[in-house]
Structure 1
Amino acid sequence: MEQIETDATGGMDPLIFGRLLDGNGGSKPIGRTEVDNWKPSTPGEIMWLHLRRHAREVKPWLIEDLGISETTAELLVSDSTRPRALREGNALVATLRGINFNPDARPEDMISLQLWCDGVRLITLRKNPMQTPRDVLTMVDGGNGPRDAGGLIAEIVEQLVTRMNQTIVDMNAQIDELEAMDIEDNYERILPKITAIRRNCLALKRHMSPQHEALERISRDAPEWFDIDDRREIGESIARLQRYLDDIDISKESAVVLQDELRARSVASSEHATYMLTIVAGIFLPLGFLTGLMGINVGGMPGVNNPDAFWFVVAICATLLFVLLFLFKRWNWL
């Protein structure tokens, strides 16, 4: 878990990291005191700030020091995290989501990433720790990062989408493992896992479908500083996301088929048990009637004084049993 820094007043520091991209793939750090009055010192220089959106000072900082409108600042710090994108003059505003890889997190617990960019400044905001911005940061610090703001956004989008693949691969591997198990012997273990997979598929589809629409909006309506190559990269991410959505549908259908087979076998097993109990009852019902009749305690019962009468009754019961078994077998009841 990422360590939470505090500012001089003891509050949560809104700035996680800041970088100045030099336009050639490299970067250098920028501190909070240098941010407010920053202007590009060389052509192609870009400022990237990664902020904690739940910090108390974020919204006033966005409005008063970074010059972002109050409406947009409200959107950037909002807890409404449904993926979307819009153009505001020369700026791009978007809310995207990524898989939550934090400890004890479930795949459907996705993390939102808000971003604002005017082609010179990029501001990204998150509430929970995310690996994607850190991966992109490693690229730019290593001199292998994007060369413009559009490329930086495209790289962040690509990392967010690519990370979804591992979750889908893991779910497919789980389904393959469940299909290889003996359903009848592992019923109690398999059913909860199938339910969890279906729940994950539904949650991922619910979050990723709006993200697909948001990325299409970026590709279509982004400002002019978002050049053709950047749009092409976003298009590749959209195509990859669509493939993942298709894979989620396949995983969900596979889980449904497996669950239906599990239920069908369970019902068949119950019906077979009921059938066998009915056969047993059908066999022992006449035997029970005969022995009950012979056991009534009234005068005139035949064989009361005959020591061989018991074995005679046993012979009758055995004969009746074999006759019933023969008839049930002939009628294909057994």
Structure 2
Amino acid sequence: MDLKDTETNEGSDPLIFGRVLDGKGGARPIDRHNVDNWKPDVAGEILWLHLRRDAPEVLPWLQNDLGIPEPTAELLVSSATRPRALREGDTLVATLRGINFNPDAEPEDMISLQLWSDGRRLITLRKQAMQTPRDIVALLDAGKGPTDAGKAITEIVEQLVLRMNDTIVAMNDQIDQLEDMDIEEDYEEILPRITSIRRNSLALKRHMAPQHEALERISRDAPSWFEEHDRREIAESIDRLRRYLDDIDISKESAVVLQDELRARSMASNEHATYMLTIVAGIFLPLGFLTGLMGINVGGMPGVEDGDAFWIVVALCFGIMALQLFLFWRWKWL
């Protein structure tokens, strides 16, 4: 069976792929007909099923054939995808999120992955295609994959967290580029990019913060089949996720600083333009009053008959303008 074709072929069949882990890093495929009555042939075998969460048959299959309690099955197919984790007896239930690398997707469009495991079976569910399960099953098919359910869960968590790094690094690179650009010349290009970075940072933080809490819950409350080395691996992923959260905060703050600088430059430019208009209006206001007064066309105005009035007014206007400029310079308005 071609894994790539199976992963992208959306249909009514809830099973995307099934593998039986042999406990040595390898796995063999298993089809839908052999899943319901599956029992390990040898000690250490683990059943992993990767399902479509939105397939019509998935809920009754989980409840009736796989024996998952109704409230848990409804949680696994629910559209409420806020990251969380809980323990139900000897089973572990979790909802996690990963970066959406599908075509035309934005980083903040994170994909949810639900998982359920009792240590002997591992069931993962998704709505949109995800790269992480494909990578892990490829390792299994090559004989280099996880050996048990706990290790498979830690591999999934590690891959989901590691893939966030590319998006965060890309945002930091964008900020570095924006800081090197000329704010005044590239204002129209910089502003929308800053807005996009802030929006992405807020969206990632909104999903990754509860994911951090979910991973801590797994590390602390997972059943006994989740071994000590699995808890250490989860702890490493928690530390890495915490660093990513710090990097997101830095990216967000850097974007805010750039946006504030843009806003300050824009306000300064507007204030300077308003100031210059005020200066020009201050210069021409008395000149306009003078020329208006001299143009009221009243008989007996001095200098009208001999033709010298125009030049007198021009000279007077230049004198007033020179006096104003001198006073503005003296008062440090210019």
| Band the TM-score falls in, shorter-chain normalisation | over 0.9
Q: Residues 5, 186 of structure 1: CA spacing in aligned structure 2 closer, same or farther, 3 A cutoff?
A: closer
The aligned counterpart of 1:174 is 174
1:241-295 per-residue CA deviation (whole Å, 9 max, x = no partner) reads 0000000110111111111111111111111110011111111111111111111
The aligned counterpart of 2:249 is 249
Question: Which structure 2 residues correspond to residues 131-280 of structure 1 after superposition, within 5 A?
Answer: 131-280=131-280
Question: Which structure 2 residues correspond to residues 27-66 of structure 1 after superposition, within 5 A?
Answer: 27-66=27-66
Q: Residues 128, 5 of structure 1: CA spacing in aligned structure 2 closer, same or farther, 3 A cutoff?
A: closer
TM-score of the superposition, structure 1-length normalised? 0.96
- Partners of 1:46 and 1:300 lie apart in 2 by 114
Instruction: Give 1:4's match in structure 2, choosing from 4, 9, 33.
Output: 9
Q: Which amino acid aligns with 1:299?
A: G
In structure 1, stretches of 5+ residues that fail to align are: 7-11
Q: Which amino acid aligns with 1:196?
A: S
The aligned counterpart of 2:282 is 282
- Contact map agreement 2:8 2:129 (CA 8 A) in 1: no
Question: Which structure 2 residues correspond to residues 14-25 of structure 1 after superposition, within 5 A?
Answer: 14-25=14-25
- Larger mean Cα displacement after TM superposition, 156-165 or 136-145: 136-145
Q: Which amino acid aligns with 1:257?
A: V
- Partners of 1:137 and 1:300 lie apart in 2 by 105
Question: Which structure 2 residues correspond to residues 292-307 of structure 1 after superposition, within 5 A?
Answer: 292-307=292-307
In structure 2, stretches of 5+ residues that fail to align are: none
1:119 aligns with 2:124: no
- Larger mean Cα displacement after TM superposition, 193-202 or 80-89: 193-202
Q: CA deviation at 1:313?
A: 1.5
- Partners of 2:140 and 2:71 lie apart in 1 by 31
The aligned counterpart of 2:76 is 76
- Partners of 1:281 and 1:329 lie apart in 2 by 16
- Partners of 1:144 and 1:234 lie apart in 2 by 20
1:194-226 per-residue CA deviation (whole Å, 9 max, x = no partner) reads 111111111111111100000000000001110
- Larger mean Cα displacement after TM superposition, 322-331 or 229-238: 322-331
Q: Which amino acid aligns with 1:98?
A: G
> Which secondary structure state, in structure 2, belongs to the residue aligned with residue 97 of structure 1?
strand
1:55-91 per-residue CA deviation (whole Å, 9 max, x = no partner) reads 0110111111111111110000000101110111111
- Contact map agreement 2:194 2:255 (CA 8 A) in 1: yes
Matched pairs, number = 329
- Partners of 1:134 and 1:102 lie apart in 2 by 14
> Which secondary structure state, in structure 2, belongs to the residue aligned with residue 49 of structure 1?
strand
* C-alpha RMSD of matched pairs (Å): 1.1
Q: Residues 318, 188 of structure 1: CA spacing in aligned structure 2 closer, same or farther, 3 A cutoff?
A: same
Q: CA deviation at 1:188?
A: 2.1
Q: Which amino acid aligns with 1:222?
A: A
- Partners of 1:201 and 1:143 lie apart in 2 by 38
- Partners of 1:159 and 1:301 lie apart in 2 by 93
Q: CA deviation at 1:308?
A: 2.5
- Partners of 1:141 and 1:304 lie apart in 2 by 107
- Partners of 1:126 and 1:175 lie apart in 2 by 33
Percent identity for Structure 1 against Structure 2:
76
TM-score of the superposition, structure 2-length normalised? 0.96
The aligned counterpart of 1:327 is 327
> Which secondary structure state, in structure 2, belongs to the residue aligned with residue 116 of structure 1?
strand
Q: CA deviation at 1:5?
A: 4.9
> Which secondary structure state, in structure 2, belongs to the residue aligned with residue 104 of structure 1?
coil
> Which secondary structure state, in structure 2, belongs to the residue aligned with residue 85 of structure 1?
strand
- Larger mean Cα displacement after TM superposition, 259-268 or 183-192: 183-192
- Partners of 1:187 and 1:225 lie apart in 2 by 57
> Which secondary structure state, in structure 1, belongs to the residue aligned with residue 92 of structure 2?
strand
- Partners of 1:258 and 1:112 lie apart in 2 by 32
